[in-house]
Every structure is written in structure tokens, then in C-alpha cells.
Chains A and B, each alone.
Chain A
Amino acid sequence: MLAGWVLVLASFAYLGILFAIAWVADRRADEGRSLIANPTVYALSLAVYCTTWTFYGSVGRAAATGIGFLPIYLGPTLMMALGWFVIHKIIRVVKANRITSIADFVASRYGKSQLLGGLVTVIAVVGVIPYIALQLKAVSNSFTILAAAPAIVMPARAAAVPLLQDSALYVAIIMAAFTILFGTRHLDATERHEGMVAAIAFESVVKLCAFLAVGLFVTYGLYDGVGDIFARARELPNLERLLTTADTAAGYGSWAALTFLSLLSVLLLPRQFQIAVVENVNEAHLRRAVWLFPLYLFLINLFVLPIALGGLLHFGVGGGVDADTFVLTLPMANQSEGLALLAYIGGLSAATGMVIVETIALSTMVCNDLVMPLLLRWGWLRLKARSDLSGLLLEIRRWAIVAILMLGYLYFRLAGEAYALVSIGLISFAAVAQFAPAVIGGLYWKGATRAGALAALLAGFTVWTYTLLLPSFAKSGWLPADFMKAGLFGIELLRPQQLFGLTGLDEISHCLLWSLLANIGAYIGFSLARAPDAREARQAGLFVDALRVEDAGSSWRGRIAAGGTAEQVMELLALAGRFLGPDKARAAFERHARTRGASLAELRADADLVHFAESQLAGAIGSASARVMVASVVEEEPLGLDEVMNILDEASQVRAYSVELEQKSQELTRATAELRAANEQLLELDRMKDDFISTVTHELRTPLTSIRAFSEMLHQDPDIGAEDRMRFLGIIVGETERLSRLINQILDLAKLESGRADWTSAEVDLGQVIHEACESLSQLYREKGVALTLEIAEPLPTVQVDRDRLMQVMINLLSNAVKFVPADSGRVKVGAGATAIDVRVSVADNGPGIRPGDREVIFEKFRQGGQDVLTDKPQGTGLGLPISRQIIEYFGGSLWLEEAEEGGANFVFTLPLPPGDN
């Protein structure tokens, strides 16, 4: 059996392991080989969200409400989906402004207001104390139960136990000592605790394994799987209702309210803010946490309902065993001491993780945002005194840790017994939800002001206190109970949990509704009451535009009065030294000087340096106090609202310019592409011109050569016979004709292409032109024995063209046709017809035809159809078709080549009819 001393020993051994892990991680961090620079460690450390509430309380909640424990884990899953927006932005803001806690965040956002920082701290401390009490209660209960094994005895009411015999007191003391050892060994300007994060990640693994082990033991050891447990539960009338949820508007309403509440809490609880934002090493780690953390929540909830039902089946409903303890008592009742011990360690790790991070985060807030501003105000910190204050800072934090845990214990003694674990936790959730408008609104709304945030927090906190905190005291008997029934001053409308007569909601939804209504209303109302002042506008710009502007913030500084001297640098250094420790401060200043390419002695107290010093200090004592401290050394002329607006304008102008620049460069790229295309076209044209010239000269040389050859023969040999002489002269005449035809056509083409041709325009009867063209070539056709048929759909409409040019096209097409058809069996068919918009003329032959690939080529200059098949002797000039096409296109029609029905070529052209002339 487990004796008490075994438990104590096991507990201390476990804490020792944690401490060892933290120590190793800190060592590694100092060596620059960080253990926690790993996305998985980051995601696991986020699971500090799962406290004893999850470990013990979920089962209790499930035993009472079925699936009612789940919204608390669905909310964070949804939040992580939004995390890529919200958490990402907060991390960016926090890193840029060296913010160390959620109080610092709110204070900094609304103009570095000490008052606001203090208020957030008070709310956080008061709000979270029930939550810490919950951990104390869970650990001390689990210890008491396990120490009494094998008998299963529920712990007595804490109030009934004498103070010095109350195990919860010792748990609180040990946890305080442990947290002090953990979190306040040295002062870090960024408030980062690598060792702590490593230990928390380890604890997350321990509690998950412990809970899964118990879950598997109950589900598959005690029962025959999940289906078996549900089947047995269904047989008992009292358990049936746990398998569905209340099918009422209030039931779904409170489900949605809890989801929303946990969605906010996973970001706004001081410890979640600390782990998710302040301890974040690398923004990119968020990427894995977005899914790994919800997966963790999923796994740790898998067996909650089976354990709850298993416990109810085993112990009976109302069988004297608190459902909050099933995780522990089920293994005990089945003689599995080892597993019970593991469950106890799991619960202990869930509690220590929460308490360590929460109290460290709260102690930082208490020190930076509550105590330091008060000390400054009371003048305790003589600014000219040169003493090292970093020790004082640590001392304040240690006492804050002790005080917070003692307050937690006090709440446990006063009110802890009236509630189940989960209900206590929800009180804290509702408290931190009050930060939501100020934090999330502040990230996206530039118009929010300090007055708005102050009013919002005060209103929300007041309503929360009245509707949730005071009733929790009343239920425990520490406040008169008729306060609950009759309302404040006996006014029924002011009954705390039916405020203004609102009934039908559970207490959490009720509080959430009224407090957030008051909170958001005050936030918007007071913010809109007046415009933000200069400092508020400046901070709003830094926060809202955090993801867009890479601005360290030094451009926002006022001008340094008195020029900024080297003496002031030394004073700033001394100031930082007092809070950070002289050596650390000097090292930081030297690093800063190096990044600016100067030595420490050459530095002047300019805006950059003042900003640097203030952010260093902000890490140690909070941004609001840092501002006051720095202002005592360096007098800055405060920026006026106009100047801030100018800077904001400049920032937005810079953005506008960069957008404009981007557009310009895109235009430039487009223009370049166009130019390149034009250039290629020009080069192509140039090449075509060269080709043209060489082709023309070649074409001209062929007839010239033969003319010259025959002329020389006639010239040199007078003895040539008359018959030969006549034949040679005939050749010379033919070649000369061909030459002049060629030159005429070249000139013609040049004119057409340059647009200098003379055109006449008249109503022309197309049919008549076709007939005339056929007439003029009929001799040629007859000589070759080619049949020419006409198929003209009379009457053809008249067209508006140059008659001679059209004739030229017809003759060209007809003479081409007769050239390529076989003699004697050749047939050429001319067709013509009109449609509504144009007339169409075709000249088809039964010659060899043109291959599809060459059908466009023949319209190029000097390219002749089938040149490769025929002999070198050209049958034409190679300019007829290009000229014809130019002419037809000039008239607005088109000329192309198709395959004729008989396999030959079919040249077709269309001419448009004048509009309206059908």
C-alpha cells in the first residue's frame, strides 16, 4: 500500500526531474543551443492549458453533464485556426515592443498607461486566483485520497480541518518555493524562461500519457471497450441522459457561450499569453502549434466520457465518491497502485505546470505594472541614486509569487468547497474574457483610446465581480445568502444571477452576456467620445499596422531636448544598469553601439538610443514605468498630435508609393516585352526585305542573261542564218516582255504595299467583269484544249471597286488555272454567288492542286506553287497572287485557296457588299 511518505517522495522526485530538465535547458540556452527552439516543444508547452481541471475536473463535468466538458477544448481548436491571424500579429507586436505580459500589452497599446497596466494586473490576479485555488484543491485532494488507500475516503471539508493539518497549505507553500526557484533565479530583459518552457513541455507529455493510461485501463481493463461501457450506461436510466445534451435553447446557448469563453481564454489567460507569445522563440513555430495543440486536446479528451461512465457504473450514481476523483479512485478500487500513482503524478504535473507559469506571469505583471509604478510615484526610487535595483525586482517578484499562492489558498478555504473543479475554473475564464475587447480591439481598431479601455475593463470587471465572484462567496456562506435571493439593497432587479430579471441562463452565460455587453459598450462609447491623443495614435499605429510596417518605433520619438549628449548616454546606461544589472546593461549597450558602427563612447543620446534604452528597460519593469524612468533622464519634446499624424501619413504614403512603384515596374515590364516583340518583328521584316531584294535581282537576272547571251551571238556572228536570227530575236523579245512584266508587277506591288497606288472606285457589275475576263482568255484556253465553264447565280449585285484592278485579279486567277491543268483534259470552273453581306467568286481547276501546308506559302512573293515538282523554269513571276490578295484585301474582302471537288486548286475570293444594300 502507498504510504504517505512514498507519495511525498514520489512528488519531490518528480519535481526534481522537472528542475533538472529546466536546468539543462537553461544551460543549453546559455550555450546558444536552445532546447526549445523547436515547433513541437512550442506546441506541447501550449498544452499548459490543460490543468487539473482537465485531468480530474473534465471527468467530474462529464459525470454531471455528459458532453458538457467538450466546449472548453473546442474553443481553443477554433482559436488556433484564427491563430495565424491573431496570435501571429500579437507575437509580432510583442517582439517589436519588448512587451512582457498581457498587462504590459494593454498598457502599451493605449499610450503606455500605468493606470491601465495596473488595472489589468489587478483583474488578472483577482480573476485567476480561483483557478489557482482549483489546482491546490485538486492536488491536496488527490494526495489525501491516495494516502488513505486502500480505503476510498473523500477528503473532509477544508474548512473543517485545522489550518496546520491542511495538506493544501503545504501544497501551496511547496509550489511557491518551487516556482521561485524556477522563475526568479535571474532577471532577463525579455522575460523569457527557456528552462521553464522545456519543463512545461515535458509535463504536457507526462499528463497526457498518465491520462491515456488510466483511460485505456478503464475502457479495456475494467470494461470490454468503449461500446461495452456505453451499452451498460444505456441500461441505467440515470446515465442515459449523459449520452445526449439538453435539447433546449439554453442548453445550446450555454454550449456556445463556453466555446466562446474558452476560445478567448486560450489567448488571454496570463499563462497562455506568457507561453504562446512571450516565450515564443520563432514565429514559424506557430505553424505546427496550429494543428498539434488541438490534436493534443483531442487526445486528452478521448477517454473522458468512458472514465466518467465507468466510474458511475462502478461506484453508482451518488455512491459517495466524487466524480472529480474517478481518474484516481478507479485504479485504486481495482488494486492498481502503480497506475494510481501514475495518475497522481499526472495530476501533479498538470497542477505544477499551471501554477508555475501562471504565477510567474502574474508576478511579472504585479512587479512591472503594479509595484514599480507605485514605488516610482512615491519617490522610493531616487533616480540619482546609483544602486543596483535588479535584486529588488527579483525580490518583488518572489513575494508576489508567495502572495498569489496564499491568496489562492485563501480562496480555496473560503469558497473552494461549494463548487466542482470545472465551475471554479470557469469563474477565472469569465474574468480574463474581460481583456478581449481591449486586446483584440486594440489590434485592429486605431480609434480605441485609453479612456475606452479603462472604462471597458472597469465595467466588465465590476459586472463579473457582482454576478460571479460575490455569488461564489455567498454560496460558501461568507456573504449573507439573501443577497443572492433578494438582490442588492433588496432590489429584486439586482439579483446577481438574474440581473435585470434575466432568467433561463446558467451563471457563466449570464455573467458573460452582461459583462461583455457592459465591457464592449463602454469600450466603444468612451473611445468614440474623443479622438486619440498623440501618444495613443502613435501606439495604435504601431500595433494595428504591426504586420505591415517594419518600424522599430524610433521614428516616433520626439526630438531630444538639449541635443542629446554623451553624458546622457552614460545616464541611460546607469539607469538600465540599475534594473538589469550593470554588466548586462553595459553589454547590451555595447551590442547596440556595434550595430550602429560606433563605440560606446561615440554614442549620442539620439532617438534611436533612447528608444533602445527604453525597450531594454521595458523588458525589466514594463513599458509604462520604463517611459517614466527614461523621461527622467532624457527630456524629449513630446510629439504633437499633428506630428504623429504626419508620421502616420508618411507611413501610409510610403505604402502608397511602394504600391505605385510596383505598378510602374509592372508597366515597365509590359512595355519591355512589347518593345522586344516589335524589335523581333522589325528584324524579321529586315530579313524579308533582304530576301526580297535577292529574289528580285535573281528573277531579273534570268531573262537578262538570256537576252544578253542571244544578243551577243547576233552581234559577234554575222553569219547566222535568217531563220535562227528570227528565232533568237523572238526569244529576246519574249524575254524582254517578261522582264518588263516583272518590273511592272514589282512596281505595282511596291505601290500597293506603300499605299500609293491610284485607285478608282465605281459601281461595278461583277458578272460582267467575270464574263470579260473569260472572254479575253478564251483563246488561251482553246489553244490548250481546256474546258472553261461558268456557274454564275444571276443577277449578281454590283460592288464598289476599281474595275481594272478586279479584272487584273480575275485574269491572274484564270491564267494561273490554265497554266496548271493538263492539256486537252483540263477543266476550269468559275462560280459566283451572293449572300446577304458579300459576293463570293471561285475559280476551281482539276490540276495537281496545292498541298495543304503550301496553301498560304503561294501568297508570298516569288513563291510559286509546286516549284519543287516542276522544272526550274518558272511558269510565272511569282507576284500575281500576292498582288491579287493585296487588291482584294484593299476592297475589304479576302482571297484564299481551298481544295477543289476534283482534287485541284480552288481559289476563292469574297467582296463585301455595301451595308444596307441587300
Chain B
Amino acid sequence: MYRSRLTAQRLAALFLLGCVLFNYPVLALFNRAASVLGVPVLYAWIFAAWLTLIVVMALVIEKRRD
């Protein structure tokens, strides 16, 4: 019970983190004409942050309950 409450809190924190990462003003920081390895930074940022968020969500929720 306690463990699952902790998981829920972690996921809620990730939700808030996602809200920050994918919105103004963080988004505006990457909104420029530069590119990383040929990919525009804005595009690269969103996909990188997105994938990271998914991986962390998976780690949080699939963590073995011990």
C-alpha cells in the first residue's frame, strides 16, 4: 500500500515535469534555427525529452515491488 502510494506520487511528479518540459518557456529555449546532427533543435528536444519521460515512467511503474 505504502509502496503503491509512493509510485503514484512519483508518476504525478513526472506528470508535472512533463508539463514543464513540453511547454513555454522551456520550449522557447529550443525554438531556434540551429540543429543537432542535422536535426532541428526543437524537434530533437521534444523527441529526446519525450523518450526520456517514457523510459522513466516505465522504470517507476515496473520497479519490482519489494
Q: Across the interface, do A81 and B40 meet the contact criterion of CB distance under 8 Å? A: no
Q: A81-B18, A245-B31, A259-B22 are in contact. Are A298 and B12 (CB under 8 A)?
A: no
Q: How far is the CB of A313 from chain B (nearest CB, A)?
A: 15
Q: Which residues in A have their C-beta under 8 angstroms from that of B11?
A: 81-85, 290
Bound form: Cα–Cα A295–B55 in Å:
9
Q: Which residues in B have their C-beta under 8 angstroms from that of A67?
A: 42-43, 46
Q: A230-B35, A230-B40, A259-B23 are in contact. Are A295 and B61 (CB under 8 A)?
A: no
Q: Across the interface, do A243 and B40 meet the contact criterion of CB distance under 8 Å? A: yes
Q: Across the interface, do A294 and B39 meet the contact criterion of CB distance under 8 Å? A: no
Q: How far is the CB of A573 from chain B (nearest CB, A)?
A: 40
Q: Across the interface, do B31 and A227 meet the contact criterion of CB distance under 8 Å? A: no
Q: A81-B18, A247-B31 are in contact. Are A231 and B58 (CB under 8 A)?
A: no
Contact of A245 among B8, B15, B35, B42 (CB under 8 A): B42
Q: A287-B62, A298-B50, A305-B43 are in contact. Are A226 and B38 (CB under 8 A)?
A: yes
Q: Which residues in B have their C-beta under 8 angstroms from that of A70?
A: 46
Chain B residues 6-49 with CB under 8 Å of chain A are 7-8, 11-12, 14-15, 18-19, 22-24, 27-28, 31-33, 35, 37-40, 42-43, 46-47
Q: Across the interface, do B39 and A252 meet the contact criterion of CB distance under 8 Å? A: no
Q: Which of A85, A228, A231, A291 has the most CB of B within 10 A?
A: A291
Bound form: Cα–Cα A67–B23 in Å:
13
Q: Across the interface, do A78 and B18 meet the contact criterion of CB distance under 8 Å? A: yes
Q: Which residues in B have their C-beta under 8 angstroms from that of A81?
A: 11-12, 14-15, 18, 53, 57
Instruction: Give B57's nearest chain A residue, CB to CB.
Output: A291
Q: Which residues in A have their C-beta under 8 angstroms from that of B28?
A: 247, 252
Bound form: Cα–Cα A225–B28 in Å:
27
Instruction: Give B40's nearest chain A residue, CB to CB.
Output: A243
Q: Is A491 an interface residue (CB 8 A)?
A: no
Instruction: Give B53's nearest chain A residue, CB to CB.
Output: A77
Q: Is the interface of A mostly helix, strand, loop or mixed?
A: helix
Q: Mark A240-271, 1 if CB is under 8 A from B, else 0.
A: 10011101000010011001000000000000
Q: Which of B19, B28, B40, B51 has the most CB of A within 10 A?
A: B40
Q: Which residues in A have their C-beta under 8 angstroms from that of B14?
A: 81
Q: Mark A286-315, 1 if CB is under 8 A from B, else 0.
A: 011011101100100010010000000000
Q: Which residues in B have their C-beta under 8 angstroms from that of A228?
A: 38
Instruction: Give A245's nearest chain B residue, CB to CB.
Output: B31
Interface size class of A (residues with CB under 8 A): 35 or more
Q: Across the interface, do B42 and A243 meet the contact criterion of CB distance under 8 Å? A: yes
Q: Across the interface, do A243 and B33 meet the contact criterion of CB distance under 8 Å? A: yes
Q: Across the interface, do A295 and B54 meet the contact criterion of CB distance under 8 Å? A: yes
Q: How far is the CB of A82 from chain B (nearest CB, A)?
A: 5
Q: Mark A45-66, 1 if CB is under 8 A from B, else 0.
A: 0000000000000000000000
Instruction: Give B35's nearest chain A residue, CB to CB.
Output: A230
Contact of B57 among A80, A231, A255 (CB under 8 A): A80
Q: Which residues in B have their C-beta under 8 angstroms from that of A259?
A: 22-23
Bound form: Cα–Cα A226–B39 in Å:
7
Q: Which residues in A have their C-beta under 8 angstroms from that of B15?
A: 78, 81-82
Q: How far is the CB of A248 from chain B (nearest CB, A)?
A: 10
Instruction: Give B19's nearest chain A residue, CB to CB.
Output: A78
Q: Which of A228, A243, A256, A302 has the most CB of B within 10 A?
A: A243
Q: Which residues in B have their C-beta under 8 angstroms from that of A231?
A: 38
Q: Across the interface, do B18 and A77 meet the contact criterion of CB distance under 8 Å? A: yes
Q: Which residues in B have their C-beta under 8 angstroms from that of A84?
A: 7-8, 11, 61
Bound form: Cα–Cα A40–B11 in Å:
20
Contact of B27 among A230, A234, A252, A288 (CB under 8 A): A252
Q: Which residues in B have their C-beta under 8 angstroms from that of A82?
A: 11-12, 15
Q: Is A74 an interface residue (CB 8 A)?
A: yes
Q: Across the interface, do B38 and A230 meet the contact criterion of CB distance under 8 Å? A: yes
Q: How far is the CB of A39 from chain B (nearest CB, A)?
A: 10
Chain A residues 385-437 with CB under 8 Å of chain B are none
Q: Which residues in B have their C-beta under 8 angstroms from that of A291?
A: 54-55, 57-58, 61-62
Q: Across the interface, do B39 and A230 meet the contact criterion of CB distance under 8 Å? A: yes
Bound form: Cα–Cα A255–B21 in Å:
13
Q: Across the interface, do A244 and B40 meet the contact criterion of CB distance under 8 Å? A: yes
Q: How far is the CB of A842 from chain B (nearest CB, A)?
A: 56
Q: Which residues in B have their C-beta under 8 angstroms from that of A252?
A: 23-24, 27-28
Q: Which residues in B have their C-beta under 8 angstroms from that of A255?
A: 23-24, 27
Q: A227-B38, A244-B31, A244-B40 are in contact. Are A290 and B57 (CB under 8 A)?
A: yes
Bound form: Cα–Cα A77–B51 in Å:
10
Bound form: Cα–Cα A255–B46 in Å:
13
Q: Across the interface, do B62 and A294 meet the contact criterion of CB distance under 8 Å? A: no
Q: A290-B11, A298-B54 are in contact. Are A256 and B39 (CB under 8 A)?
A: no
Q: Across the interface, do A74 and B33 meet the contact criterion of CB distance under 8 Å? A: no
Q: How far is the CB of B31 from chain A (nearest CB, A)?
A: 5
Q: Which residues in A have their C-beta under 8 angstroms from that of B53?
A: 77, 81, 294
Q: A74-B22, A252-B23 are in contact. Are A294 and B57 (CB under 8 A)?
A: yes
Bound form: Cα–Cα A74–B54 in Å:
11
Bound form: Cα–Cα A213–B1 in Å:
44
Q: Across the interface, do A244 and B23 meet the contact criterion of CB distance under 8 Å? A: no
Q: Which residues in A have their C-beta under 8 angstroms from that of B23?
A: 252, 255-256, 259
Q: How far is the CB of A504 from chain B (nearest CB, A)?
A: 15
Q: Across the interface, do A294 and B54 meet the contact criterion of CB distance under 8 Å? A: yes
Chain A residues 611-661 with CB under 8 Å of chain B are none
Q: Which residues in B have their C-beta under 8 angstroms from that of A294?
A: 50, 53-54, 57
Instruction: Give B50's nearest chain A residue, CB to CB.
Output: A298
Q: Which residues in A have their C-beta under 8 angstroms from that of B24?
A: 252, 255-256
Bound form: Cα–Cα A127–B24 in Å:
30
Contact of B33 among A240, A256, A288 (CB under 8 A): A240
Bound form: Cα–Cα A888–B7 in Å:
58
Bound form: Cα–Cα A82–B24 in Å:
21
Contact of A85 among B8, B18, B39, B61 (CB under 8 A): B8
Instruction: Give B51's nearest chain A residue, CB to CB.
Output: A298
- 6 of the cross-chain contacts (CB-CB < 8 Å) are A77-B53, A245-B31, A247-B31, A292-B58, A294-B50, A298-B50
20 further contact pairs, Cβ within 8 A, besides A252-B24, A294-B53: A67-B42, A70-B46, A74-B50, A77-B50, A78-B15, A78-B22, A81-B11, A81-B14, A81-B18, A84-B8, A85-B12, A227-B38, A228-B38, A230-B35, A243-B35, A245-B31, A245-B42, A288-B62, A290-B61, A294-B50
Which B residues fall within an 8 A CB radius of A?
Answer: 7-8, 11-12, 14-15, 18-19, 22-24, 27-28, 31-33, 35, 37-40, 42-43, 46-47, 50-51, 53-55, 57-58, 61-62
